[in-house]
Structure 1
Amino acid sequence: MPAFTVASSYSRAVGYFTSTSLALYARGIETFAARGGSMRLIASPHLNEDDVVDIERGYDLRAVVERATMRELEQVEPETVLDGLGLLGRLIAEGRLDIKLAFVQQEGRVGIYHEKIGIFRDDFGDLVGFTGSSNETFGGLMANFESVEVYRGWVAGDGTRALRLETDFQALWANQTPHLSVERFPDVARERLVKLGHDRPPRDLPGTDSALTPTPAETDEPTRLALPDWLKVRGYQREAITSWLSHQGRGILKMATGTGKTKTAMIAATQLGNVLRQREQPLVVLIVAPLIHLVDQWITEVEGFGVRPIAVYESSQKWLPLVQEQLAAARMGQRPFVVMVATNASFSGEKFQSALSRINLPLMIIGDEAHNLGSAAYKSSLPQNATYRLALSATPERWFDDEGTDSLIDYFGPIIFELGLGKAIEMGALTRYEYLPRLVELNDAETALYVDLSAQIAARIASGDNLKDADPNSPLGFLLRQRAGVLGHAEGKLEALRADLDARRNDWFQLIYCAEGRRPAEPGDEPGPKQVLEVMDLVGNKLHLSAHSYVSETARPERKVLLRRFGAGDDLRALVAMRCLDEGVDIPDARTGYLLASSSNPRQFIQRRGRLLRLAPGKDRAVILDYLAVPPPGTSINFNVERALLVRELERANEFGKLSENYETTLQVLRPLKERYQLMDM
C-alpha cells in the first residue's frame, strides 16, 4: 500500500487470477490510479480439466483461454467484487491497465505458470522488486502464511536483483521466456470488464479486509488434511505408517477388523501431504470402497481430518463437475488436497476412469477392503499413474483365487504391516470375547438331502476334483454351496436360537446373522422360507423383542436410521442381517452376535467377528454364539469325505475359540464331534 501511493508503474506476474483477486488489486490501486499510474499483469488462466484436454488435443488456444476467462468473470456475484472489477474496467478503457495470460506448453502437455514477481517504479526512476510465495488473492494477502523477499533499487546489492526481476518480467511480457506461452487477455473478456466499468458508477471501495467476500477457492475453506485435535495416534498405527513410507509409499496393511485401518490410512495421507506441501506439490487422494455405505463412512472420516471429499457414486452429473473443478484448482496451486471417495463400481466406470487417466499430479490410492480389487472386474481399473498405493484388509488373501491375490500384491506391494486379532485384543485395541458353539443335529429330511449331496461331492472328488481348491462356480463348488445351505438353514438352529435369545431377552446391542437365500429342498420341491423372515417372526412375534431386519433391500437412508436406533440402546434390541453388516459397517456398540449362517469362507466369519469386537464405552467384552449343524451319529456317509468336509467347518470354530476367554469350554463342546471323526489333533 505505501508503494502504490508513490509509484507510477506496477508490473506483476503471479500464479493465477480469479474475480476476487482482480478486485483485491483494485482496492490497492485506488490512489495509484488517481495519480495516473499504469499497471501490467501476467497471470495463469484458471483452466479446468476440459480446457487442458482441449489444448492438448490441438484445439484453438485462444478460444480455450477465452472460454476459461469468461467462465471466471461470469461467476462474479458479490457487489464489492463487481465494484472492484468496474474500476479495473475503467483503467483498461483508459489504457492504464493491460493483462496477459501465461501457461506452460511443452511437448503437448499443459502446465501452470506458478512464478510470483513484482516491480514498482516511480517518476524518479527508482524501483522496488519483490518475489515470494503469495498469490494476490484474499488468502494469499490476508490469511495464509507466506514469505516475500523485497529488493530496493537504491540499496547496494539489492539493485542488481531488482533489475534482474524487471528484466525477467520484460521477457515474459514479450513472450520470450522459453517453454512459456504468454497470450493477450481475450478481447471478449476485456470488453466485459470495460462494460462493467461503464455500467457501474465510481465509488469508494470498502476499507476493511472483511468487506470482500472471496470465492470458495480463495477462502480458508478446509482444503488441507490435518490430524484432528482429539485423535491419539496409537503406537501400532505409527509403526504401520512408518513401514509404508519406508516402502516408498506402497504396501498392504493386514490389520484385524476394528483396529482402525481407516484412521491409519488417513494419518498416512496427511503425513504424505505435509511432505509434498514442502515441495509446493498438491496431493490427490482416491479412496475406493466396495459399497455405498462404506463410502459414506469414509466421507465422515475424511471430514474429521478437515477436508470435504467428493463422493463418487450414483449419477456422474453430481460428481464429475466437482472432480474436474477441484483437480483444476490443484493444478493451479489453489488446493493442496483433492480427496475423492468412490465405490468400486463407479471407480471402474468409463467416466471416472477417463478423468483418472488424465491426472498428472501426485496421486495416492487407498483400497479399502482391498481383497475385492483383486477380482477380474476391478484389477484392470487400478490406476498406473498412482505413485502412492495403500491397501487395507483384515484378509487380503483372496479365497480360492491365488491369481487375484498375486495381482493385488503386484499392484499395491507386499504386506508391510500385520496386526492379528490376538495381539490387538492383548494390547486393548479390541475387546475380549466369549465364544459359545452350539451343536445342532439335522432332522430326517435335512439329513436325507445332506447325505445325497455328500454322495455327489464324494463322486466329484473321486473323479479328480480338488476339494481344497474348489472354484465356487464349478460343479463341485455348486454342490458345496448346496450342502452349506442345508447346514445353514437347519431348523434346529431356530430352537437353539430361541433358547439363547430368551435367556438374553433383557440385553441390548444384539446382532443375528442369517443364512442366505431360502431353505434348500429336494430336487423338484419348492425351496423353503427365507431364514431371515423366520428369525424376524421368532424375535418379534414369539419372543416380543424389538428388532428390525437389515438386508440388501434396506434403503440407504433407512440403514442410517436403524444403526442410530440400534446404537441408542433404548429402542432396538436386535438387528437381523443377511449378507449385510459385514464389510466395514461401524457398529461398535454390538455386544452379542448369533451366527446362524454356515460359511467356511474365512473372510466372512472374520468380518462378522470384527463387528462385535470394536471398543465402545461401557463395553468390556462380547459374546459370540455359533450354531454348527451336523448329521446325527450313525448317518451313512463316506467317512473320509465327511471328515474332510467337517475340517472346513471346524476351522471356523477353532479360529473363534482359540482367542476367546473360554477356550476350554469350546474344546469340551467340540470334543464328541472331533472324536467321532478322528479330528482330535485339530
Structure 2
Amino acid sequence: MAVSNALRSINFAEEYRSDQGNIVGDFYVPSLKVSESYDRAVGYFTASVLSVIGEGIDEFARRGGLMRVVASPYLLPEDIEEIESGYSLRSVMEKAAVRDLERSVEDPRAARGLGKLGQLVAEGRLDFKLAYVTAENRVGMYHEKIGIFRDGEELVAFKGSANETRSGLVGNFESIEVFCSWDQRDRARALRIGRQFDALWEDRTEKLRVLPFTDAAKKVIERVSQGISELGEPDIFDYGGAPLTVPVQDSAGMLRIPAELKVREYQKKAVGNWFAQSGRGILRMATGTGKTLTALSAGAQAAKMLDKVGEPLLTVVVAPYQHLVDQWAKDIEWFGVSPIRAYESTTSWYGQASHLLDSLALGASRGGVVITTNKTFGDRAFQSILSRYSGRLLLIADEAHNLGAKHVSSKLPESAEFRLGLSATPERWFDDEGTSALTSYFGDVVFEMGIGEAIKAGALCRYTYTPVIVELDDEETELYVEITEKIARIFAAHQGSEQADEDSVLGALLRKRSNLLGHARAKLPALKKEIEKRQEDWYQLLYCAEGKHPLSYADGAPDEPPQIDQALALVGNELQMPAARYTSETKRPERRQVLQRFADRKLQVVASMRCLDEGVDVPAARTAYLLASSTNPRQFIQRRGRVLRQAAGKTMADIVDFIVVPPEGATGMRDTTERGMVARELARVTEFAHLAENEAETLDILRPLRIRYGLLDV
C-alpha cells in the first residue's frame, strides 16, 4: 500500500497544460506511483490510456491500488433509436460500452492496456460504472471530467478537459487544474470534488443515473487479456521533462485502399481522370457501378499523395439521408478509418469533430473523415466546423445533384481544394441554374459510365422489361387536363425560361401532375395480375407513389388510403405473400431488419416510395414494379439501377413498368395534351426498352399506342 502523506512529496503545479509541460509524465505517473486509490469520472474511458501511463499504473497495481471509474459510452444514433423505441436502457448502454472496449483491441497499445485492466478486474481492484443524463425523457452523455488520487491521509483532486483516452492525454491540447487537500487555499474544493465523486458513485446525483458495469466489462477484458502476452512488452516512453510524443500508426486517420478490394479498370480510369483535372470533377456513374468505392479510392490516393509531403487531409462526405451516412461509414471503416457521423443532435458529433480538427492541426493525426447529411451540412454548427479548418480538404458529394438547390449550394466550402461529385444523373430536372451551380463548384463531368456500358462490363446484370398500359379514369383525366393547362400558361408567360424550383408554382404543378399519374387507380388491379404471375418468386421491390391520390384532397371526396397501404393489403392479405414497407417513417433499426429479412428470404416483397431511390444497397432484388410513373429521368434511372446490382446466383432482373395513358376518346382532352402525355411516358419506356434483353417484344407491345397518337418517331 501507499506510504501516508506520500502525495505531499510531489511538487504539484496548480495547472497542467499541453503547452507548458507533460500532463502524463509530470502529473499522472508520479501520482499513481504513490496513491492507494484512484477515482475517475470522465466522458470517455478507453484501455489505451493505460499504455500511456503504463509505468505509474504498473506500480499502482503492484502495490494493490484500488480504482473506480465512472464513464459514459459513446452512443451511436441507432443506440438512441433503440432507447426511444423502448429497448432496455441498461442493455443498450452496456452494449455501447462493450463496443467501445472491443474497438480498443484494434490498437496494440490499447490491447496492452486491456491486459492491465484484466489484472485489476481479476483481483477485484477495479470497478466500472456507466453514467448518463436523464432529463425531459431524453438520454444524454455524462461529460464531466474529475479525478481524485488518495494516499490514505491526503487527496489530490483535479478537473479539466482531458478524457481518459490516449488521444485525450497525448494527441489533443488539454489542461487540468489541481487541488491539494493539505493546501488551505485548495482544501475545501479538493474535499468537495471528493464528495461529488462519492455521490456520483452511489447514484445520488440529481439528473444523473449510474449503472454497474464491471461484470459486463469483465467478460470482454478477460477474453482479450488471454492473448495479450503475444504482443510482447509495451513500448517504453520517455516520461522526463520533454513533451511526450507517441508514435502515430501509419494509418492514423488516412484512407487506405483495402488489399482485398479489386478495383475495376473503369474505376481506375475514373480516378485518373479526376486527378487529371486537379482533383475536381463529377463522376457520372450508373447506380450499382461502385461510385462509393471509386470515390474512397480517389480519397485514399489523395491522402497518400499529401502524406508524402507531410500534410494531413480532412475528408468530408455529404449524403442525402441518415441511412446513407451509415452505409458510407461501413465502407470507410473498410478503408481503415473510423469516421465521425455528423447528424441528429449536435452534441453527438460536434465535440468529436472539434477534436479531430485540433488533432490534424497539431499533427497528431494524418487524416480524418466526417460524414454528414445534406441537412446537417447546411446547418450553422457544421458550417462553423468547416470555417475553422484551414488545412487540405476533400469534399465528396454523394448524389451530388441534391446540392444544386440554392439553399445548399451557397454553403459549399470554397476552401475545399479537392472536390468530387457523384451522381448517375447530375443534371437537375427543370433547373438549369442549379445544374450550372453544381458544375461551377465541382467541375465538369470527368468520367461517365451509363447502364449499357455497366452491363457490358459485368458491373450490372441484364434485365427484361415489361410495360403494362393502364388508363386514367374520367375524374383523373379531367384533373390532368386542368393541371397541364396551368403548366402551359406558365411556360407561355415566361417563354419557357421558368425554373421548376421546389418552392415555385411550376414545380408544385409538375409534382402534382406526376403524383396523379403515379396514383392512377387502374394500376392496382393491373399490379395484382402481374404479381400473381410471380407469386412464388422472392426478392421483389414495389415502388409506390408518395402521399395520397390528388383527388382525395378535394372537398367532399372520400378518404382514399395511400397507394402503398392498398398495395401491401393486396400483396399481404389477398395474395398471402410476406411483405413489409420501407419508408422515411420506418425507424433505422427496423429498416435494417427489413432489408436483412428480404435478403434472408423471409420477405417476398418490400414496398417503398422514395427511400430506396438513392444509394440503398439491395443487391438481392430480382423484380421491380414501378407504380410511381415519374417522368423525372433521375428517379426512373435510379430505380432501374437498384434492381440491376450484381448478387450471388443472380443472372437476370425483371422490371415491370406501369404506363399511364388517357382513355380512348377522352372528353375535354385536346389532341396536343393527349399526345404530350403519351410522349412523356414513352420517353421513359424507350430508355428502359433500349437496353432490355426483350427489346423487340417490348416495342411490339407499344406499337399500337404509337400508331394511335402518331408517335412512331419517339
* TM-score where L is the length of structure 1: 0.70
Q: What's the CA shift for 1:420? A: 1.0
What does residue 678 of structure 1 align with? 710
- 1:316 and 1:445 mapped to 2: Cα distance? 48
What does residue 653 of structure 1 align with? 685
- 2:19 and 2:356 mapped to 1: Cα distance? 17
Tell whether 2:78 aligns with 1:78.
no
What does residue 637 of structure 2 align with? 606
8 Å Cα contact 1:511-1:594 kept in structure 2: yes
Tell whether 2:426 aligns with 1:396.
yes
What does residue 485 of structure 1 align with? 515
Over the aligned positions, Cα root-mean-square deviation in angstroms equals: 3.8
What does residue 289 of structure 1 align with? 319
What does residue 525 of structure 2 align with? 495
User: CA 1:490–1:75 in 2, change beyond 3 Å: closer, same or farther?
Assistant: closer
What does residue 98 of structure 1 align with? none
Tell whether 2:528 aligns with 1:556.
no
The residue identity in structure 2 corresponding to 1:595 is L
User: Where do 1:168-247 residues align within 5 Å?
Assistant: 209-210=233-234, 220=249, 223-247=253-277
Q: Give SS of 2:548's match.
A: coil
What does residue 619 of structure 2 align with? 588
User: Where do 1:246-325 residues align within 5 Å?
Assistant: 246-325=276-355
User: CA 1:24–1:529 in 2, change beyond 3 Å: closer, same or farther?
Assistant: closer
What does residue 89 of structure 2 align with? none
**CA deviations over 1:393-438 (Å, ceiling 9, x no partner):** 1111111111111111111111111111111111111111111000
8 Å Cα contact 2:579-2:604 kept in structure 1: yes
- 2:684 and 2:20 mapped to 1: Cα distance? 60
What does residue 418 of structure 1 align with? 448
Equivalent of 2:462, from 428, 432, 438? 432
- 2:502 and 2:675 mapped to 1: Cα distance? 20
Q: Give SS of 1:411's match.
A: helix
- 2:174 and 2:488 mapped to 1: Cα distance? 79
Tell whether 2:594 aligns with 1:622.
no
Tell whether 2:590 aligns with 1:566.
no
Q: What's the CA shift for 1:271? A: 0.9
User: CA 1:190–1:500 in 2, change beyond 3 Å: closer, same or farther?
Assistant: closer
8 Å Cα contact 2:283-2:422 kept in structure 1: yes
**What percentage of aligned pairs have identical amino acids?**
45
8 Å Cα contact 1:282-1:336 kept in structure 2: yes
Q: Give SS of 1:649's match.
A: helix
**CA deviations over 1:241-270 (Å, ceiling 9, x no partner):** 111111111111110111000000111111
8 Å Cα contact 2:580-2:606 kept in structure 1: yes
8 Å Cα contact 1:373-1:408 kept in structure 2: yes
- 2:616 and 2:44 mapped to 1: Cα distance? 42
Q: What's the CA shift for 1:552? A: 1.4
8 Å Cα contact 2:383-2:411 kept in structure 1: yes
Tell whether 2:474 aligns with 1:444.
yes
8 Å Cα contact 2:50-2:57 kept in structure 1: no
What does residue 8 of structure 1 align with? none
Q: What's the CA shift for 1:349? A: 1.0
Q: What's the CA shift for 1:490? A: 1.8
Q: What's the CA shift for 1:72? A: 13
**CA deviations over 1:557-585 (Å, ceiling 9, x no partner):** 1111111111112x000101122111111
User: CA 1:319–1:480 in 2, change beyond 3 Å: closer, same or farther?
Assistant: closer
What does residue 372 of structure 1 align with? 402
User: CA 1:17–1:425 in 2, change beyond 3 Å: closer, same or farther?
Assistant: farther
- Larger-gyration structure (1/2): 1
User: CA 1:327–1:472 in 2, change beyond 3 Å: closer, same or farther?
Assistant: closer
**CA deviations over 1:587-645 (Å, ceiling 9, x no partner):** 11111000001211111111111111111110101110000121122223211233223
The residue identity in structure 1 corresponding to 2:282 is I
User: Where do 1:626-641 residues align within 5 Å?
Assistant: 626-636=657-667, 637-641=669-673
Equivalent of 1:528, from 560, 563, 571? 560
**CA deviations over 1:278-328 (Å, ceiling 9, x no partner):** 111111000001100000000001001111000000111111111111221
- 2:264 and 2:572 mapped to 1: Cα distance? 42
8 Å Cα contact 2:257-2:300 kept in structure 1: yes
Q: What's the CA shift for 1:231? A: 0.4
Matched pairs, number: 521
User: CA 1:565–1:381 in 2, change beyond 3 Å: closer, same or farther?
Assistant: same
- 2:555 and 2:322 mapped to 1: Cα distance? 38
User: CA 1:491–1:85 in 2, change beyond 3 Å: closer, same or farther?
Assistant: closer
What does residue 32 of structure 1 align with? none
- 2:605 and 2:344 mapped to 1: Cα distance? 31
User: CA 1:467–1:602 in 2, change beyond 3 Å: closer, same or farther?
Assistant: farther
8 Å Cα contact 1:23-1:84 kept in structure 2: no
What does residue 168 of structure 2 align with? none
8 Å Cα contact 1:18-1:72 kept in structure 2: no
Tell whether 2:628 aligns with 1:597.
yes
8 Å Cα contact 1:550-1:580 kept in structure 2: yes
Structure 1 residues without counterparts, runs of 5 or longer: 1-13, 27-70, 88-136, 143-184, 196-205
Q: What's the CA shift for 1:469? A: 6.2
What does residue 339 of structure 1 align with? 369
**CA deviations over 1:214-243 (Å, ceiling 9, x no partner):** 999867485332211220010001001111
